[in-house]
Chain A
Amino acid sequence: MKFTGTDNYIAAHDLQLAVNASIAMEKPLLIKGEPGTGKTLLAHEIAKGLNKKLFTWHIKSTTKAQQGLYDYDAVSRLRDSQLGDEKVHDISNYIIKGKLWEAFDADERVVLLIDEIDKADIEFPNDLLLELDKMEFFCYELNKTIKAKHRPIIIISSNNEKELPDAFLRRCFFHYISFPDRATLTKIIDVHYPDLEQRLVQEAMEQFYAIRNIRGLKKKPSTSELLDWIKLLMVGKINAEGLKEAQEQGRVPLVGAIIKNEQDLALLKHLQKN
């Protein structure tokens, strides 16, 4: 079982190795990197590439670790007891499985994505230590231990908004997706838009890198922005000449796809004027 990227996902050699090592070692893989470099996408592509089922657990600021395991729906039970429903006698009817449980329960090895783990409270990762280590947890209501039938391939993405605790990090492999170099980026564009005119790609890359290299940008555009932009250029039927012409006049067509905030836009305008 080797992951080598998919038809529309170019994985660099080190990323492939990281994924394969974490599959072989059955350890979670923590993925960090600039926004838009395909962190979340990675899990989807691994699932696709290895033909596995994917479970996604999106983390929000209010997410508790427990929710990944299970929820006890006490309110339904109360209602059922008032209505005299027979179901009420069996507590297991009111245990709602979380993503982790679902993944543990699957009959084959699956991919579990814990997306944006840094969004949660700082204690969140600590609450999952044992679960990720042993791939089991205890359900008090049912008085039984839930153990993974097959240890899932766990991909954890983080945007670095919070530091993750050391104890948690020790249990993961870590890979930082750096911004792709020019050759890789060209490949990525090729995969997404195979029929694109090469001159347009060159010209777009040129301008894209120029913008990316501006010092002091609050949000550097990354791969996903480039892809969006190229798509827009195609839809807007702007060709290489049009792009070049615009540049000579000191503007970037459809710049909104690359620059996402006012300050950066102002900075760009300011630079173009001079």
Chain B
Amino acid sequence: MFLDFFLLLKHQGIPVSLVEYLSLLEALDKGVIQKNIDEFYYLCRISLIKNEKHLDDFDRLFGLYFKGIETITDETIFEIPEDWLSKNGERLFSEEEINNIKAMGGLQDTLDRIQELFKEQNERHQGGNKWIGTGGTSPFGAYGYNPEGIRIGQHESRHRRAIKVWDKRDFENLKDDVELETRNMKLALKRLRKITREGTEEELDLHQTIKKTSENAGMLELKMLPKKKNNVKILLLLDIGGSMDDHIALCSQLFSAAKYEFKNLEFYYFHNCIYEMLWKDSTRRWGEYISTYDVLNKYNSDYKVIFVGDASMSPYEVMMKHGSVEHYNEEAGIVWLNRLKNKFSDLVWLNPLAKEEWQWTRSVQMIEEFTENRMFPLTIRGIGEAVEALKS
């Protein structure tokens, strides 16, 4: 009977599921709580919300949805299911607003209000939620009062450069293509760690041998284990600044996941393309730098290089000397890129732009060519593919 409230939460990006909704209903049915709005609120909260980062959103939405309810006498709340269904739209929008939407004339006011909500939500989720993976857009047909299915995404794109076609996003691959969280990233990166245990089985696995032998009640059974190779070594090169500002949250998620997964992780920052200098500290891009030559010398060729960047720049920045936007580079970016490639043959490029957008930017194609088709989108699937490419 509170289905619309549930849907409201769902469409506002709070990860609620039917299981949780049913358990809420069951709890209500069992009379777990006293019939008053406070306890009802607590019960909703413990059964629907599973992460403290959503608590605030939940409170806000609960307030919005159940506005005015606290004045209704306690018992009636639970006895008017039919009413809930028909009235809930009016709780969210005033009658006037509904009329506005219906007429499609005064839409802007309503849109603004909803977008305020969405904006708040997007900002809150920058810290590491799947919303950033989807670009924070959602079809707004959710409220049930908008037959046209207004897309908030269109509003977003006005702030961005024309080359990006955020609105074109389709949600067909929602599961493993868009939804990103560090947990998923860690799992994806974890696969790279596996290579340290691959190979022929040549080491005696003492523990398993004892276990197996004793399980056989004394008949010896030898167990072998692949030799433990050195941990995988990663050199992470991250593009910062400029167009990458759009992807800060995503990159920092990747960064934290990588830091968690790899012991031997080295990282440097660059801007747009690799030139003669790299930075160790992203905030001091104008200060301390390290020569790219030093990096080339410092690390053995068994390091695997992961570039992270949108590779969106002017082609000059890649191909021409003096092409860099921020300094006078003596050698073209591609020269430096090739030096890296000669040293570190295992390299991939992760691009936070959606794959469909690559074709619109010349430099992306150039970089993709340079990587010999080892450019992957910065999604779970992309990371998975990159890991596979690094393993082979």
Q: A residues 57-88 with Cβ under 8 Å of B?
A: 72, 74-75, 77-78, 81-82, 88
A residues adjacent to B (C-beta < 8 A)? 13-14, 17-18, 20-22, 24-25, 27, 29-30, 32, 72, 74-75, 77-78, 81-82, 88, 122, 162-166, 169-176
CA distance A172 to B51 in the complex (A): 11
Among B15, B30, B50, point to the contact of A24 (Cβ < 8 A): B30
CA distance A75 to B213 in the complex (A): 9
**Do residues B211 and A74 form an inter-chain contact, with CB atoms below 8 A?**
yes
Among B30, B46, B187, point to the contact of A174 (Cβ < 8 A): B46
Label chain A's interface by main secondary structure.
Answer: helix
Q: Does B64 contact A (CB under 8 A)?
A: no
User: Chain A nearest CB: distance from B27 CB in Å?
Assistant: 5
**Do residues A21 and B211 form an inter-chain contact, with CB atoms below 8 A?**
no
Q: Does B66 contact A (CB under 8 A)?
A: no
**Do residues A78 and B214 form an inter-chain contact, with CB atoms below 8 A?**
yes
Among B27, B30, B183, point to the contact of A162 (Cβ < 8 A): B183
**Do residues A21 and B183 form an inter-chain contact, with CB atoms below 8 A?**
no
Provide the residues of chain B in CB contact with A25, threshold 8 Å.
Answer: 23, 26-27, 30, 32
Q: Mark B9-43, 1 if CB is under 8 A from A, else 0.
A: 00000010101100100110010110000110011
**Do residues A163 and B181 form an inter-chain contact, with CB atoms below 8 A?**
yes
User: Chain B nearest CB: distance from A40 CB in Å?
Assistant: 18
Among A21, A22, A88, A169, point to the contact of B51 (Cβ < 8 A): A169
CA distance A30 to B211 in the complex (A): 35
Provide the residues of chain A in CB contact with B45, threshold 8 Å.
Answer: 14
**Do residues A27 and B214 form an inter-chain contact, with CB atoms below 8 A?**
no
Q: Does B215 contact A (CB under 8 A)?
A: yes
Provide the residues of chain B in CB contact with A13, threshold 8 Å.
Answer: 38, 42
User: Closest residue to A174 on the B side, CB-wise?
Assistant: B50
The answer to whether A88 and B27 touch (CB under 8 A), given A163-B182, A170-B20, is no
**Do residues A21 and B46 form an inter-chain contact, with CB atoms below 8 A?**
yes
**Do residues A78 and B218 form an inter-chain contact, with CB atoms below 8 A?**
yes
The answer to whether A122 and B187 touch (CB under 8 A), given A74-B211, A88-B217, is yes
CA distance A29 to B215 in the complex (A): 38
User: Chain B nearest CB: distance from A168 CB in Å?
Assistant: 9
**Do residues B39 and A77 form an inter-chain contact, with CB atoms below 8 A?**
no
**Do residues A14 and B42 form an inter-chain contact, with CB atoms below 8 A?**
yes
Q: Does B356 contact A (CB under 8 A)?
A: no
Q: Does B381 contact A (CB under 8 A)?
A: no
CA distance A164 to B182 in the complex (A): 11
User: Closest residue to B211 on the A side, CB-wise?
Assistant: A74
Most buried by B among A72, A82, A174: A174
Label chain B's interface by main secondary structure.
Answer: helix
User: Closest residue to A21 on the B side, CB-wise?
Assistant: B32
**Do residues A27 and B50 form an inter-chain contact, with CB atoms below 8 A?**
no
User: Closest residue to A177 on the B side, CB-wise?
Assistant: B52
**Do residues A175 and B32 form an inter-chain contact, with CB atoms below 8 A?**
no
CA distance A81 to B186 in the complex (A): 44
Provide the residues of chain B in CB contact with A72, threshold 8 Å.
Answer: 215
CA distance A254 to B19 in the complex (A): 50
Q: Does B329 contact A (CB under 8 A)?
A: no
Provide the residues of chain B in CB contact with A172, threshold 8 Å.
Answer: 50
Provide the residues of chain A in CB contact with B213, threshold 8 Å.
Answer: 78
Provide the residues of chain B in CB contact with A173, threshold 8 Å.
Answer: 46-47
**Do residues B32 and A169 form an inter-chain contact, with CB atoms below 8 A?**
no
User: Closest residue to A25 on the B side, CB-wise?
Assistant: B27
Q: Does B49 contact A (CB under 8 A)?
A: yes
**Do residues B210 and A174 form an inter-chain contact, with CB atoms below 8 A?**
no
**Do residues A17 and B50 form an inter-chain contact, with CB atoms below 8 A?**
no
**Do residues A122 and B50 form an inter-chain contact, with CB atoms below 8 A?**
no
User: Chain B nearest CB: distance from A222 CB in Å?
Assistant: 15
Q: B residues 191-229 with Cβ under 8 Å of A?
A: 210-211, 213-215, 217-218
**Do residues A75 and B210 form an inter-chain contact, with CB atoms below 8 A?**
yes
Closest CB pairs A-B (n = 7) = A78-B214, A74-B214, A169-B50, A173-B46, A176-B52, A163-B183, A17-B42
CA distance A172 to B45 in the complex (A): 12
**Do residues B218 and A82 form an inter-chain contact, with CB atoms below 8 A?**
yes
Q: Does B389 contact A (CB under 8 A)?
A: no
Provide the residues of chain A in CB contact with B165, threshold 8 Å.
Answer: none
Provide the residues of chain A in CB contact with B17, threshold 8 Å.
Answer: 166, 170
**Do residues A18 and B46 form an inter-chain contact, with CB atoms below 8 A?**
yes
**Do residues A175 and B46 form an inter-chain contact, with CB atoms below 8 A?**
yes
Q: Does B107 contact A (CB under 8 A)?
A: no
Provide the residues of chain B in CB contact with A82, threshold 8 Å.
Answer: 218
CA distance A18 to B42 in the complex (A): 7
CA distance A170 to B46 in the complex (A): 11
CA distance A173 to B47 in the complex (A): 5
CA distance A25 to B25 in the complex (A): 11
**Do residues A21 and B218 form an inter-chain contact, with CB atoms below 8 A?**
no
**Do residues A122 and B43 form an inter-chain contact, with CB atoms below 8 A?**
no
Among A24, A29, A32, A122, point to the contact of B52 (Cβ < 8 A): A32
CA distance A58 to B211 in the complex (A): 25
Q: Does B55 contact A (CB under 8 A)?
A: yes
Q: Mark B219-256, 1 if CB is under 8 A from A, else 0.
A: 00000000000000000000000000000000000000
Provide the residues of chain A in CB contact with B186, threshold 8 Å.
Answer: 122
